[in-house]
Structure 1
Amino acid sequence: MFRISDYRNCRHYGPLIAERVWTAWWQDSGVALVDFTRHVDEMADDRPIPAAFVAHDQDGYAGSAFLIESDLDERPECRPWIAALWVEEGKRGRGIATALLRAAAAGAAELGHETVHLCCRRHLESFYETRGWRVEERGVGPHDLSVLIHRRKDA
């Protein structure tokens, strides 16, 4: 069993979240881990966005996802975004990613956003589509990313 919490209520996971996300997506970007860790710390301030959601269980950290203003320079009009969805390797396949996506999308909805976006590599599209996301565009930016959208059910 696992729980999803607002990062503001479990900041002790910050260094681990930063390390996982930085290693997965940022280590070759020129951004230092210490700078990325500060970015994660900002998700605990008073602003509603950026925000982070943390999955944890009896063993500790299980995964996380961010709710941010923008994730693709090529699509500045799209706001907000779910980004950096991560589930620990040994904890995958238990519904944690789905729960994190729902929590982040609900966070966006609570702020009045009818839609939320994310980007991924093309081979991951079906993972998101089976969870209610729709592909909006493919081949975006230098990493050939797909942009997906999720619309609030009551919108």
Structure 2
Amino acid sequence: MTLDIVNLRDARQFFPEVADRIWRAWSEPNGEPLAEVEQELSEVVAATDFPFTLVAVSDGVFAGTVTAIASDLDERPELTPWVAALWVDPEFRRAGLAKALVERAVSTMFGQGHPQVYLYAIPSLRAFYLGLGWTLLEERFGKYVIDIYIRHPAKKDDPA
């Protein structure tokens, strides 16, 4: 299996799959139309450097995605930027793809000069994110009962 992680700007043929996964996972359950997700994703693709969407491709097949955006939580507008919309198709799970997508997004944002990065996730994913070096900032926040995390670049003397 060959795995590549590419920017959606450079692999626009995967736009329908990315929009579909984001919509089905987060927007459709809230009654938002697919067209709204497609519009927001089009704005991400049109940006020069940030925001951005990454796509994992396995032997030419869509496998997963993650997006880096300025804000992902209306209640915390001061926190920026965010890793958002992490998705791995079921047949590619438990193979390190989620970690690879998150790490590439984070390293890209740090490379762009962002001093910290945020994300949120359901509490059952806490061990996963703590294991990747994220720090729990708030737990069981808001009506969706999510955990909010922060990550800083590794210091030069850190073994990570």
- So what's the TM-score if we normalise by structure 2? 0.91
Q: In the alignment, what sits opposite 2:63? A: 62
Contact preservation (8 Å) 1:136, 1:149: yes
Q: In the alignment, what sits opposite 2:46? A: 45
Unaligned segments of structure 1, at least 5 residues: none
Q: In the alignment, what sits opposite 2:22? A: 21
Q: What is the CA distance between 1:86 and its match in structure 2? A: 0.4
1:123 alignment partner, SS class: helix
Q: In the alignment, what sits opposite 2:78? A: 77
* Distance in structure 1 (CA, Å) of the matches to 2:151 and 2:123: 17
1:4 alignment partner, SS class: strand
- So what's the TM-score if we normalise by structure 1? 0.94
State the AA in 2 paired with 1:6: N
Q: In the alignment, what sits opposite 2:154? A: 153
Q: What is the CA distance between 1:59 and its match in structure 2? A: 4.3
Q: What is the CA distance between 1:49 and its match in structure 2? A: 2.3
For residues 18-51 of structure 1, what are the alpha-carbon distances to aligned partners after superposition, in whole Å with 9 as ceiling and x for unaligned? 1111101111223210121121122211342221
Structure with more relative contact order (C-alpha pairs < 8 Å, separation 6 or more):
1
How many residues align structurally?
155
Contact preservation (8 Å) 1:7, 1:43: no
Provide the aligned C-alpha RMSD in A: 1.3
Q: What is the CA distance between 1:145 and its match in structure 2? A: 1.0
Q: In the alignment, what sits opposite 1:108? A: 109
Q: In the alignment, what sits opposite 1:138? A: 139
Identity across matched positions, percent: 33
* Distance in structure 1 (CA, Å) of the matches to 2:60 and 2:47: 29
